[in-house]
Amino acid sequence: MSTAAKVHGANTRAEIFSQPQCWKACFQAWEKSQQIQKLATKFHPGADYLFIGCGSSYYISQAAAASWQLITGRPARAVPASELLLFPDLVLHSHRPCQPILVSRSGNSSEVVRAAEYLERQKDIRTLAISCAQHQPLDEISSDTLYLLPADEKSVVMTRSFSSMLLGAQALAAQVANRKEIADGICSLPGRIEAILNFIPEQIKRFVESSAFADYVFLGQGPLFSIASEGQLKVGEMSCSYAQVFHTLEFRHGPKAIAGPETLITFLLSESGYEEECKVLEEMKALGATTLVIANQADEAARQNADLLLELHLDTPECVRQTGYLVSCQLLGLYTGLEKGYDIDCPRNLTRAVILEGD
């Protein structure tokens, strides 16, 4: 690795490693303001939850929707802001109440702001924003906002803002559903992830420095599919590498044609689907693919079929474990980008927020 590459990405690296401390700061701010408790009282008990975002914020929306449905038992789904703006009749159902939740780190991403304007002003539907910034167009338009101010970043690429906004959404779901065990599990995550950050980064760094890949594939199911999606985006943003994402069991239906030593396939193994997902892992290893496996706990079969195995050992409920998997994906993007010599703090062609002409 060149000397220049070593100094690139200082902000991004610091923001990845600061996540446990950042979450603690967010939790303390919520406790002081009672923000979570106050917002929870405003949710209609019979409403469907609709999460809206763009880019990484769309993947937060996917992860949050999966968690909300599992935690509250109410239907929840996620759509890109553009889908609501271009095809509203496919998104909104006139016969059921809807609670939109709009996600934006900066609070000024054009399509998310336009979605809030459409819902509030044209459809007369009250919205909740989740953001890391105050006094921006999104929180000024939305009826309410869940703030995660300690999570804002200097970097272009979202890391701690992603995890913090996801945890904020999950904490709100736990409050709405009165699920104390979920809330307690979320509060325990900073300490658990701190422990992970003591050993996983060096494993990933050594693995990246010893290998070079033409393709990157991320596989996940259920609540982890959104994290697999964010993983492929992080590798693409930070290292300008070609990366794809699939549901794990879908990869055997055609996409497996690309499996080989030059393809790194990252498996995010769930607990609920572990046995079936491991069968795909065995199949891809038999085809010669290079495999990185992230699991909460792995059995001997997974160990034998993983070129690199990362075990999390989280005792939190599965529906709020996504951040553990996320940190590993962020680190893979970080070290891949550094190995290729990119300045990760200023990635090519990207800005912190997409603000369209006229906004």
pLDDT tens digits for range 294-341: 999 999 999 999 999 999 999 999 999 999 999 999 999 999 999 999
In a domain? residue 355? no
Nearest to 160 by CA among 60, 235, 298, 244: 60
Residues 200 and 166 in one domain: no
> How many structural domains compose the chain?
2
User: Given a cut of 50, is residue 1 above it in pLDDT?
Assistant: no
What per-residue confidence (pLDDT) applies to 5?
Answer: 43
Residues 211 and 311 in one domain: yes
What per-residue confidence (pLDDT) applies to 7?
Answer: 57
In a domain? residue 184? yes
Residues 183 and 219 in one domain: no
CATH of residue 231's domain is 3.40.50.10490
What per-residue confidence (pLDDT) applies to 3?
Answer: 44
Q: Tokens 């992830």 correspond to what residue?
A: 193
Residues 156 and 205 in one domain: no
For residue 341, the tally of other CB atoms under 10 A from its CB is 13
In a domain? residue 358? no
What is the DSSP track for 68-97? HHHHH-S-EEEEEHHHHHH-HHHH--TTS-
Count of residues in the chain = 359
In a domain? residue 320? yes
In a domain? residue 345? no
CB 248 within 8 A of CB 235: no
Residues 59 and 141 in one domain: yes
Residues 202 and 107 in one domain: no
CB 175 within 8 A of CB 40: yes
What values do phi and psi take at 195, rounded to 5? -65, -40
* Residue 314 domain boundaries: 193-339
Q: Among the three residues 162, 188, 214, which one is the final residue of a domain in this structure?
A: 188
Residues 69 and 19 in one domain: yes
In a domain? residue 347? no
Q: Among the three residues 131, 156, 188, which one is the final residue of a domain in this structure?
A: 188
In a domain? residue 348? no
CB 196 within 8 A of CB 246: no
Residues 223 and 324 in one domain: yes
Q: Among the three residues 167, 188, 209, which one is the final residue of a domain in this structure?
A: 188
Residues 121 and 199 in one domain: no
Residues 118 and 215 in one domain: no
What per-residue confidence (pLDDT) applies to 83?
Answer: 97
Residues 69 and 165 in one domain: yes
Residues 167 and 222 in one domain: no
CB 106 within 8 A of CB 133: yes
CA distance 337 to 5: 9
In a domain? residue 27? yes
Over residues 168-195, mean pLDDT:
96
pLDDT tens digits, 32-82? 999 999 999 998 888 899 999 999 999 999 999 999 999 999 999 999 999
What per-residue confidence (pLDDT) applies to 46?
Answer: 84
Alpha helices in the chain, H assignment, sequence order: 3-7, 10-17, 19-33, 35-40, 56-72, 81-86, 88-91, 110-117, 137-141, 160-176, 180-196, 200-209, 225-239, 274-286, 300-304, 322-339
